[in-house]
């Protein structure tokens, strides 16, 4: 239809910049596409205009709400020089108690104010340590409980953890790659090879199945009782998430946060800063049943495909007296191929699953392991690369004991 005039194109560009500052991945390609799209619609109709920009500039359902908020702010008064008035309007929109403003609107407000100020980092004394530990020091670290570690020990342990690799038992895929000892012959490669010898087939080309590790999902409890372990295990999650593909990491206390994208940042400190910005419930209570219900409903179908392995890291101490835990842990168990419960409380020899949460969860997990020091992390890694035990076998150990 009509060519968008200069002002409109300018405004689309400013709008794209606003979206970018609010954290949406909107690049020049999207801006150009948006200008093109406006040629094909009647820009007099606001809902069509909005739908068109959204179809072109938003690529994920999660970004939709942020986009709609930014749209209603920006195009109410689409004059870049009048950002301030939009910002003032924004203030009025905030919830009076201020504590839980919609996360999107806060991010947009920050973007519009274009403040560079980030929340101050936690005061931590600068760490200087010798990365080359002596043998005895390393030995000591291996068996030391994470809870008992000093800040310096933790820093050293983190270095060790960063070196850990997680070799999950490999799954056969339905893909094939060329291989001299493969199980299947490949006609395509055989015929192509025969071209070298003038159509004479001298050797048969073969191909073998591609194997690859299954997806891994880490559900980590960050409630008060788990605080110290969570700190270290988050480092473990970070190194795993950066080492391989198809890893999803969720943190939970009273609510569930998906931190996979944040953890992908190579720099652990940057990743943790971003995580602490988005996770609202550090060191609070736990509502495992409710959180697992939310995971099952919103995420299980999206991340548990293709034979996923789930690491559930929690001490099983539930604030709500294990309400809804039974059916949700059962469903989680049915939806994944292998469910491993990592529990730091298992470090005590006298531990037995007496708490309500543990009693309910144990029949539905395949493995039950401690995670309280480096040695236990390493034995976890060894067991993950072995064949999985029979399903639901974790409880047998307790049955035999008693």
Nearby residues of 95 by Cβ (< 8 Å), 6 or more positions away: 101, 102
Q: Rule CB under 8 A: is residue 195 a binding residue for another protein?
A: yes
To another protein, the closest distance from the beta carbon of 174 in angstroms equals 2
Q: Rule CB under 8 A: is residue 302 a binding residue for another protein?
A: yes
- Which tokens go with 214? 């299954």
CA gap 161, 262 in Å, rounded: 19
When binding is defined by CB under 8 A, the residue of 13, 41, 80, 375 that contacts another protein is 41
Q: Rule CB under 8 A: is residue 199 a binding residue for another protein?
A: yes
**If you count DSSP H runs as helices and E runs as strands, how many of each does the chain have, helices first?**
18, 9
Segment interacting with another protein, rule: CB under 8 A, options 58-66, 95-103, 314-322, 337-345:
58-66
| Residue 64 or 152 having the CB closest to another protein | 64
Answer whether 218's CB lies under 8 Å from 250's CB: yes
To another protein, the closest distance from the beta carbon of 12 in angstroms equals 14
When binding is defined by CB under 8 A, the residue of 89, 151, 183, 187 that contacts another protein is 187
| Residue 63 or 369 having the CB closest to another protein | 63
Q: What's the DSSP call for residue 215?
A: P
Which stretches within 22-82 are classed as H helix? Answer: 28-39, 46-57, 64-74
Q: Sign of dihedral through CA atoms 174, 179, 185, 187?
A: positive
| Residue 280 or 324 having the CB closest to another protein | 324
CA gap 173, 186 in Å, rounded: 17
Q: Rule CB under 8 A: is residue 116 a binding residue for another protein?
A: no
Q: Rule CB under 8 A: is residue 178 a binding residue for another protein?
A: no
Q: Rule CB under 8 A: is residue 198 a binding residue for another protein?
A: yes
Answer whether 394's CB lies under 8 Å from 368's CB: yes
Segment interacting with another protein, rule: CB under 8 A, options 8-16, 83-91, 152-160, 167-175:
167-175
DSSP string, 95-131: -TT-TT--HHHHHHHHHHHT--PPPPPP--PPP---S
To another protein, the closest distance from the beta carbon of 283 in angstroms equals 28
DSSP 3-state assignment of 198? coil
Q: Rule CB under 8 A: is residue 323 a binding residue for another protein?
A: no
Residues touching another protein, count (CB under 8 A): 45
| Residue 232 or 310 having the CB closest to another protein | 310
Q: What is the footprint of another protein within residues 329-388 (CB under 8 A)?
A: 331
Residue 211 pairs with which residues in a beta bridge?
Answer: 172
| Residue 181 or 195 having the CB closest to another protein | 195
CA gap 343, 119 in Å, rounded: 32
When binding is defined by CB under 8 A, the residue of 31, 156, 257, 296 that contacts another protein is 296
Segment interacting with another protein, rule: CB under 8 A, options 16-24, 48-56, 76-84, 114-122:
48-56
Closest CA to 152 of 135, 137, 164: 137
Report the largest interatomic distance among the alpha carbons of the chain, rounded to a whole angstrom: 82
Task: Count CB atoms within 10 A of the CB of residue 386.
Answer: 9
Q: Rule CB under 8 A: is residue 173 a binding residue for another protein?
A: yes
| Residue 51 or 95 having the CB closest to another protein | 51
Segment interacting with another protein, rule: CB under 8 A, options 7-15, 90-98, 129-137, 301-309:
301-309
Answer whether 78's CB lies under 8 Å from 43's CB: no
When binding is defined by CB under 8 A, the residue of 61, 100, 116, 354 that contacts another protein is 61
CA gap 344, 220 in Å, rounded: 12
Residue 177 pairs with which residues in a beta bridge?
Answer: 208
Residues that bind another protein (CB under 8 A): 1, 25, 29, 33, 36-37, 40-42, 45, 47-48, 51-52, 54-56, 58-61, 64, 173-176, 187-188, 191-192, 194-195, 198-200, 245, 296-297, 301-303, 305-306, 327, 331
């Amino acid at each position: 239809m009509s060519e968008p005039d200069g002002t409109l194109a300018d405004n689309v560009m400013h709008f794209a910049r606003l979206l970018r500052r609010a954290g949406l991945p909107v690049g020049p390609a999207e801006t150009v596409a948006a200008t093109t799209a406006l040629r094909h619609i009647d820009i007099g109709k606001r809902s069509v205009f909005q739908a068109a920009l959204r179809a072109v500039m938003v690529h994920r359902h999660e970004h939709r709400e942020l986009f709609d908020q930014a749209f209603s702010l920006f195009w109410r008064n689409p004059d870049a020089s009048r950002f301030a008035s939009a910002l003032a309007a924004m203030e009025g929109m905030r919830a009076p108690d201020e504590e839980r403003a919609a996360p999107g609107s806060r991010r947009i407000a920050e973007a519009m104010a274009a403040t560079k100020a980030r929340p101050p980092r936690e005061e931590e004394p600068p760490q200087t340590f010798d990365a080359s530990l002596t043998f005895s020091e390393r030995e000591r670290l291996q068996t030391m409980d994470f809870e008992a570690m000093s800040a310096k020990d933790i820093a050293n342990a983190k270095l060790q953890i960063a070196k850990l690799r997680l070799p999950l038992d490999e799954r056969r895929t339905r893909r094939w790659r060329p291989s001299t000892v493969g199980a299947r012959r490949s006609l395509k490669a055989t015929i192509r090879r025969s071209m070298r010898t003038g159509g004479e087939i001298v050797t048969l080309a073969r191909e073998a199945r591609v194997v690859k590790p299954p997806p891994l999902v880490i559900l980590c409890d960050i409630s008060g009782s788990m605080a110290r372990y969570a700190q270290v295990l988050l480092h473990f999650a970070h190194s795993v998430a950066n080492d391989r593909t198809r890893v999803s990491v969720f943190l939970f206390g009273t609510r569930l946060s998906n931190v996979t994208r944040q953890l992908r940042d190579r720099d652990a400190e940057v990743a943790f800063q971003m995580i602490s910005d988005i996770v609202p419930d550090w060191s609070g209570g736990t509502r495992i049943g409710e959180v697992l219900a939310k995971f099952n409903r919103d995420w299980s179908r999206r991340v548990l495909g293709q034979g996923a392995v789930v690491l559930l890291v929690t001490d099983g101490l539930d604030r709500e007296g294990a309400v809804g835990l039974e059916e949700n842990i059962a469903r989680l168990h049915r939806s994944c191929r292998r469910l491993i419960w990592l529990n730091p409380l298992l470090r005590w020899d006298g531990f037995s699953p007496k708490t309500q949460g543990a009693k309910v969860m144990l029949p539905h997990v395949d493995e039950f392991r401690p995670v309280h020091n480096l040695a236990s992390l390493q034995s976890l890694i060894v067991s993950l690369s072995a064949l999985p035990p029979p399903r639901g076998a974790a409880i047998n150990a307790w049955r035999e004991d008693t």
